[in-house]
Amino acid sequence: MPKRHHNPIFSKPASSSHPALTTSSSPSKNGSNNSDTTSPSVNDLINHLRRSQVTSNGSRDEVIPTRTVHPSLKGILHVADTPPPRPRPGMRPVGGRSVRGPAGPAPPRSWLTSSIHAPKHLRDRARAGAAQRMVPDRLDRLPGAKIPDKSSLLHHCLKAIASNWKWHVEYDQYYLATMPVTMKETLLSYIAVYGDGLDIDGLRTLFLDDTELEGATGSEDVKYLDLSGSVGQPLTFRQLDQYFTKSAPTPSQPAPPPNDIDSWETLASTPVSPPLNPTPFLSLTHLSLSHPFPTTSWPRFLAFAPHLATLTHLSL
């Protein structure tokens, strides 16, 4: 009978360990005895941890007794009274008893200052802040306005005039009205940033026409009117309304009676006089009323709005 030949391809390989394991096996056995003798066991570590926790808790909870003195002897021995215990967190004294405050975080400070139930010192502080004039932070608020460079001589001159505007209105009033129109427009922006605001007297002085002062440039060619930081105080909408309507139209002639046959012909042949300008600013297209006083009456602005028919840009 022929022998069966074993195929070595599918035979199980012999297990062999890595050389590093075989070399480190012998020292690990010898080192285990030394580690048992030198390092504490797990039970020893747990017991040591328990003992340390007990000692720390005992020292923390230990109460040092304080010597007390009878109240009748405190005045004789000059012993200070024992301070009362601190109130619990979240409690506030009301009427001799402690009351827990409202739940949740404290309200924002801005809510308190604007509320009618705010404390008196916060209301006084808010009232004092409201009385301060709001100052714009830049000159180029109106698009297209010509603002000189800060390193130029014109910038420093306009800044000096705006800083002492009331003095110049009183002593240089006959020279301010003769300035070019473009320089007047730029000066208004400087007064809003570097001055104390523009009042109605300064506005009238700056825009006098040639009928009121010889050589004055007037206000018909003004396109940019920057009144930022002046609306409400010192310049009110009532004063602006009165100034803008200084050229009131004259009453028209009465129309002929409707029963007249030639009424339409008479009305057509009647010469119509050109209407007068209802506002001193004919070419006004850009107006800035930003940074108003907090107590500004905006319904007054709605009554003043019909004078702004030529506007294309309005800054509030």
Residue 178: pLDDT above 80? yes
Q: Confidence class of residue 151 from pLDDT cuts 50, 70 and 90?
A: very high
Q: Give the residue carrying structure tokens 């008479």.
A: 266
Residue 163: pLDDT above 80? yes
Q: Is there a contact between 136 and 194 (Cβ–Cβ < 8 Å)?
A: no
SS3 91: strand
Structure tokens at 311: 């506007």
pLDDT in tens, 192-218: 999 988 999 999 999 999 988 999 999
Instruction: Pick the most confident of 68-72, 164-168, 230-234.
Output: 164-168
Question: Tell me, what DSSP letter sits at residue 257?
Answer: P
Question: Residue 32 belongs to what H/E stretch?
Answer: helix 19-38
pLDDT for res 261: 44
Beta bridge partners of 224: 286
Q: Give the residue carrying structure tokens 């035979």.
A: 11
Q: What does the pLDDT average to over 243-264?
A: 54
Strand 91-94, strand 97-100: pairing:
antiparallel
Q: Which of 284, 260, 282 is nearest to 270 (CA)?
A: 260
Q: Is there a contact between 218 and 208 (Cβ–Cβ < 8 Å)?
A: yes
